[in-house]
Amino acid sequence: MTTLHDKWNLVPVVVSITDLPATTHFGKSFGLPSLARVRSKHVAVSPQADVVSLPLEAAKIVVTSFRFDAQHESTAKPKPQNDASPKARSDKRTRIRAPRDVVRLQDRLNYVLQPPLETLLADELVELPFEPFDYQLDGIAFLFPRHHAVLADEMGLGKTMQAVTTARLLIRSQQVRRVLLVCPKPLVTNWQREFTLWAPEIPVTAITGPVERRKFLWRQGAVVSLVNYETLVRDEQVLESLDHGFDLVVLDESQRIKNRSGTTNRVVRRIARERSWALTGTPIENSTDDLVGIFDFVAPDSLRPGMKPREIGRAVADVVLRRTKDAVMQDMPPKMTRDAQIDLTPEQWQTYERAETDGVVQLGELGTSITLQHVFQLVLRLKQICNFDPVTGKSSKRDHLLAELEECAASGRKAIVFSQWVDTIKKLAESLAPFHPVEYHGKIPHGRRDGVLTQFRDDPKCSVILMSYGAGSVGLNLQFASYVFLFDRWWNPAVEDQAINRAHRIGCSGPVTVTRLLAAGTIEQRIDQILAEKRELFDSVFNTGRSPRNLSLSREELFSLFDLQTPEGRMMAG
């Protein structure tokens, strides 16, 4: 009888196994074929087949190791026992990613391997009054690892909260021990409130009062020192004499340092610091050089004047975080913006035309001695006529506003009216008396301003607040107002946006209607066109990367508002 062995001429095959790592245990855990079984396995081969060797060379495993110091954690508050888990409740995990300027892999991994932000915040040692929005967590994750950062969120998205919470986490992990916070004077109390809300255990020292008191406070080395820009500049020498620097310096409304030759810019640049953060909703107000001024503080030498917007966009990509409400607050009530083109009254027209004609003639007569100041004065004069006729006091804008406010007040809603001039605000206050207006501008003492805001919010009869762009456009929370009127136009759209966003911000309960009053056929329309171009500039740096057309309200543009001609041709800025 022929066996299978004979028929197929089966011969045993020896498999040689070589260079096995010492830790290899064949067959121990996984039911692998034992060596004996392999040796006796029969396979069909040709008669010529002899021995087939299958070398099993297992290369040494290369392991790269990284070790980290677990960051010190405060244990001042005992962990509650048998408590609900402090883990994050949502499924979202916000990772803290290493900034581009962190080069060492060890350092980058130290960020990557940290727990997600939700875990850090949900820890019972870091209680928060409200659950942050997802984009706010992203903002905190952005700021946390960065030594150089610009948080340029659109106004109303909670830059303050993001900065406070991040500073809190850094302080608690002892990565930061001294923080200096610089803000405009009217916002000092706002920052104190925000710290009380979002970081109640962290003491904040406001540097205020007479010189000797301020010196004393500076030298205390408080955990968080809060100072306004003006005081900071005044105390420059005290700052330089301090025997300690700051681990973190935060500039709020950092457009205040956009002027590179300004004193404020110089003083903040000289502060000894480890981390430099700037908060601004309007990193570019007039030209890209504004951003260069801010970067003199945040990351010196990374930008230079005259860079193209696209170059700037690339250079700042890892340092600037910019989100808009449209992008992140899709459930936020809408903002409706409309341009009300208003024909001047006949009296206003008459005055306006005469002023423009005379003004242009006078400018022309100046010839080559014409300056920016001359043009600027004419622009201001014409804009004021668009508001009120200086001769008769007539104003078609005011009449339009009155009609709009009737409806606003009748529905129990509140409105904010912005103007460039206190004089215009005063005139409006008289005309709007039936709506019990309150005023908020540079001539209202600081001590009274909080009271004005409280009255506007709480007094049901008070339907209108009249604000100047200068005093009222930054930092205030007026989200209970439903209407915003821009009685005249500011020089750049960023400030207008700041103003509008006093009402259209987190917490607003309904849609916000913005009305921009525009005197038809006047210089206001020409300015409006330039403002539109400025928006393009902003987008080209932060959003789209497109090259803008002509950028800011430059000398040339101011001149171009009037087609000034001389026998030598079109007049240009000197």
Partner 1 sequence: MNDGNAQFDPVFGFLTVMDDATGAMLGGLLLLNRRGRPLEFHCTAAVAASRAEEILFGPTLRPHIHCERIGAALLAKATQRISLLAVNQLPSWPIADDTSVPVVLVDPRSPEPAASDEQGDRRPTVPACLDRLDPGQRAATEALLVDLQRYVDLAEPFERIAEAIREAGLLGGQEDNPLANDEDDHDHAA
Interface residues toward partner 1, by CB under 8 A: 15, 17, 21, 23-25, 28-33, 38, 54-59, 61-68, 70-71, 73, 85-88, 91, 93, 95, 98, 105, 108-110, 112-116, 119, 123
Question: Whole-number minimum distance, CB 127 to partner 1, in Å?
Answer: 15
β-strand partners of 515: 338, 485
Number of residues written out for the chain: 574
Least spacing, CB of residue 50 vs partner 1, in Å = 18
Helix (H, G, I), strand (E, B) or coil at 357: helix
Between residues 4 and 63, which has the closer beta carbon with respect to partner 1?
A: 63
Q: How far apart are CA 136 and CA 464, in angstroms?
A: 32
Angstrom distance (rounded) from CA 496 to CA 487: 11
- Which residue lies nearer to partner 1 by CB, 105 or 327? 105
Both tokens of 243, joined, read 């025997």
Of 30 and 130, the one with the shorter C-beta distance to partner 1 is 30
* Residue 88 exposure: Cα atoms within 13 Å on the Cβ side: 16
Shortest distance, position 83 Cβ to partner 1, whole Å = 8
The residue behind tokens 């002892």 is: 174
Quick one: which H or E segment has residue 517? strand 512-519
Taking the complex as a whole, how short is the minimal distance between the CB of residue 122 and partner 1, in angstroms? 8
CB of 141 to partner 1, least distance (A): 13
Cα(354)–Cα(348) distance, integer angstroms: 10
Provide the minimum distance between the beta carbon of 40 and partner 1 in the complex, in angstroms, as a whole number.
Answer: 15
User: How far is residue 401's CA from residue 8's CA, in Å, rounded to a whole number?
Assistant: 104
Least gap, CB of 151 to partner 1 (angstroms) = 24
Nearest residue (CB) to partner 1, 117 versus 378? 117
Minimum Å gap between C-beta 128 and partner 1 is 16
Cα angle 386, 531, 420; round to 5: 45
Residue number with CB closer to partner 1 (95 or 314) = 95
- DSSP per residue, 193-240: HHHHHH-TTS-EEE--SSHHHHHHHHHT--SEEEEEHHHHHHTHHHHH
Cα separation, 60 vs 16, in Å, equals: 19
Which tokens in the block code for residue 378? 């004419």
Residue entry with tokens 């929005």: 133
Q: Are 280 and 501 in contact (CB under 8 A)?
A: no
Least CB distance from residue 324 to partner 1, whole Å? 28
Residue with Cβ nearer partner 1 (31 or 445) = 31
Give φ, ψ of 453 to 5 degrees.
-65, -40
Task: State in angstroms the smallest separation of the CB of 194 from partner 1.
Answer: 27
In the bound state with partner 1, the residue whose beta carbon lies nearer, of 59 and 433, is 59
> Can you name the residues that pair with 569 across neighbouring β-strands?
566
Q: Which of 34, 411 has the CB closer to partner 1?
A: 34
By C-beta, is 108 or 413 nearer to partner 1? 108
Distance of CA 429 to CAs 199, 436, 439, 488, 519, Å? 40, 8, 8, 15, 20
d(CA 434, CA 436): 6
Q: Shortest approach of partner 1 to residue 120 CB, angstroms?
A: 9
CB of 469 to partner 1, least distance (A): 46
For residue 79, the minimal CB distance to partner 1 (Å) is 8
Report how far Cα 237 is from the mean position of its chain's Cα atoms.
Answer: 30
- How is residue 154 annotated by DSSP? P
Type and span of the H or E element at 246: strand 246-252
| Least distance from partner 1 to the Cβ atom of residue 140, Å | 17
Q: Which is nearer to partner 1, 39 or 443 (CB)?
A: 39
88 or 405, CB closer to partner 1? 88
Burial of 546 (0-12, 13-18, 19+ CB in 10 A): middle
Nearer to partner 1, 17 or 233 (CB): 17
| Closer residue to partner 1 in complex, CB, 87/443 | 87
Query: Which residue carries 């007040």 as its tokens?
Result: 409
- The pair of structure tokens assigned to 525 is 């329309």
In the complex, the smallest distance separating the C-beta of residue 69 from partner 1, rounded to whole angstroms, is 9
Given the complex with partner 1, which of 25 and 448 has the nearer CB atom?
25
Could you tell me which residues come within 8 angstroms of residue 48 by beta carbon, excluding any fewer than 6 positions away? none
Distance (Å, whole) CA 149 – CA 250? 10
Q: Which is nearer to partner 1, 115 or 221 (CB)?
A: 115
Helices (H), 76-147: 105-112, 117-122, 134-143
* 407-to-411, 427, 479, 510 alpha-carbon distances in Å: 6, 21, 19, 16
Q: At 99, list the tokens.
A: 């900034």
